[in-house]
Structure 1
Amino acid sequence: MTKKMNLGTEAYDQVEKINQINQKLVQELNTGAHEPNEIRQAVEKITNEKIDSTTEIRLPFRTDFGRNLHIGKKVYISSCSMFVDLGGIYIGDKVLIGPNATIASVNHQVQPSKRRHLELKPVYIHDNAWLGANVTITPGTVIGENAVVAAGAVVTRNVPANTIVGGVPASVIKTIKEKN
């Protein structure tokens, strides 16, 4: 599902109002030392959603908008991860996100005259997925349940459940089979 957002529209102006508030909250969160509960409370203000007490977020935490970031239970988000969430990022339960991961749900239009206009495509990361260090998840992709994205991979298409992907662009390396 692709939505377009144009500069100078009422919708874009509303985003900018929220963004001005949230960028200050993000900057305040990333300065000084904070207890885990304080971090969750700050992220709740940024996302305008309850963050479960089982979720752990390491600082610095970065988002360009915040209100379209949805975080499940027992999630671990490592330091320096970036969430470009205007198009929507949905993180399931028990997801692991390594350091310096970038998850983007926003792109710019290719046509030069509309380059500064945005295309919004949600990203879904299903339960128990693991994103390694320095991965990039591009707009509109789905990471399947139990999938693993190897460190440094760039995901440009959907990742099937129970697979390991790696490379640029990411491709399936192998299928995960549960051992008894």
Structure 2
Amino acid sequence: MNDIFSKDLSCETVSPDEPGYEALINGTFHTMETAQELAAVSVRDQKRVHGLMDVFLGKELPGSTTMLPPLYIDYGKPVSIGERCFIQQCCTFFGRGGIEIGNDVFIGPKVNLIIINHDADPDNRSATYGRRIVIEGNAWIGISTTVLPGVRIGYGAIVGTGSVVKKDVEPMTVVAGNPV
């Protein structure tokens, strides 16, 4: 059987009752603590921002990408961010099951990328599962948008401010609304 980290990345259901769940939560807490450090860094100090991002991503954030803290994130290792991206402040990334951000993506302030969901069965509600979010290159996600689990936003698409995106967005389209 897969360990809990592999299950989580494979978007299988994980439960607090499983072996290894404590390690998963401790990894989440470590990421959140590093994100708190990031919140105290000046936006002008992109070298320090990148250094802290590298810690919780577990890989190097491209030097051409600009990240404006704070960033609220639960687990960074399954998150990949492309070249020349611009990520505004106060975004929330629930990244446990994977977030893939392509090159040249603009993400507005207060954007929520939420990949985690809970079991619908009330007796198992504490169990969670993820669905990867993919944002293809040259997409633009407007201020205060929420992207829900399993959504793919196509190349060059624009998602208008305040949208709730619950289904895939076709490449080179403009969408807005609640829900999209």
TM-score, normalised by the number of residues in structure 1: 0.90
Query: Which residue of 65, 70, 80 maps to 1:55?
Result: 65
Aligned with 2:13: secondary structure?
strand
Residue 153 to residue 65, structure 1, CA distance change in 2 (3 Å): same
User: In structure 2, what residue type is equivalent to 1:146?
Assistant: G
Q: Which runs of 5+ in 1 are unaligned?
A: 171-180
* Matched residue, 1:76: 86
Contact kept in structure 1, 2:13 and 2:128, CA below 8 Å: yes
Alignment of 1:105-120 (within 5 A): 105-120=115-130
Aligned with 2:175: secondary structure?
strand
Residue 11 to residue 146, structure 1, CA distance change in 2 (3 Å): farther
Alpha-carbon shift at residue 87 of structure 1 (Å): 1.1
Alignment of 1:81-92 (within 5 A): 81-92=91-102
Alpha-carbon shift at residue 33 of structure 1 (Å): 2.5
Query: Which residue of 45, 70, 83 maps to 2:55?
Result: 45
Query: What's the C-alpha RMSD, in Å, of the aligned pairs?
Result: 1.3
Worse overlay, 89-98 or 17-26:
17-26
User: In structure 1, what residue type is equivalent to 2:126?
Assistant: R
Contact kept in structure 2, 1:5 and 1:120, CA below 8 Å: no
> What is the distance in 2 between the residues matched to 1:98 and 1:13?
33
Aligned with 1:10: secondary structure?
coil
Identity, in percent, stands at 27
TM-score, normalised by the number of residues in structure 2: 0.90
> What is the distance in 2 between the residues matched to 1:138 and 1:19?
20
> What is the distance in 1 between the residues matched to 2:39 and 2:75?
15
Higher strand share: 1
* Matched residue, 1:154: 164
Alpha-carbon shift at residue 20 of structure 1 (Å): 2.6
User: In structure 2, what residue type is equivalent to 1:65?
Assistant: Y
> What is the distance in 1 between the residues matched to 2:40 and 2:58?
21
Alpha-carbon shift at residue 8 of structure 1 (Å): 2.7
Worse overlay, 93-102 or 107-116:
107-116
Worse overlay, 9-18 or 56-65:
9-18
